[in-house]
Amino acid sequence: KQEVTQIPAALSVPEGENLVLNCSFTDSAIYNLQWFRQDPGKGLTSLLLIQSSQREQTSGRLNASLDKSSGRSTLYIAASQPGDSATYLCAVDDTGTASKLTFGTGTRLQVTL
């Protein structure tokens, strides 16, 4: 059974700092991996999706990398801002249809002024 772990569980950084969030998964036979953002009291918003054949994806200040063979992904946030404060979850897709995603428990990020 696929297990997805995110470390650290919580992180606090000062504004402007670059940071890395980690995601690891036990079964490397995945089709893709997604990073989501969840704001308090709200649903999840998809940030980046990396196909298994890709090494990384970028969107603005966000860069996600995938090392499928080692079962790891990282989300890099450049020049962090208070508005980046949220919980970040990664999810892996074992089916190729994004119908059965296995989610990590998330990293709660706080960016302070």
- Answer for which of 26, 105, 110, 112 binds other proteins (CB under 8 A) is 105
Binding status of residue 106 toward other proteins by CB under 8 A: yes
Least distance to other proteins, CB of residue 25, Å? 14
Comparison of 13 and 62: residue with beta carbon closer to other proteins: 62
Contact of 2 with 25, CB cutoff 8 Å: yes
Question: Minimum distance from CB of 99 to other proteins (Å)?
Answer: 6
Q: Which of 38, 74, 37, 45 is nearest to 57 (CA)?
A: 74
> Taking CB under 8 A as the rule, does residue 101 contact other proteins?
yes
Q: Is 40 exposed, middle or buried (0-12, 13-18, 19+ CB in 10 A)?
A: exposed
Touching other proteins, residues 22-81 (CB under 8 A):
32, 34, 41-46, 49
Classify the C-alpha dihedral 72-78-81-17 as positive or negative: positive
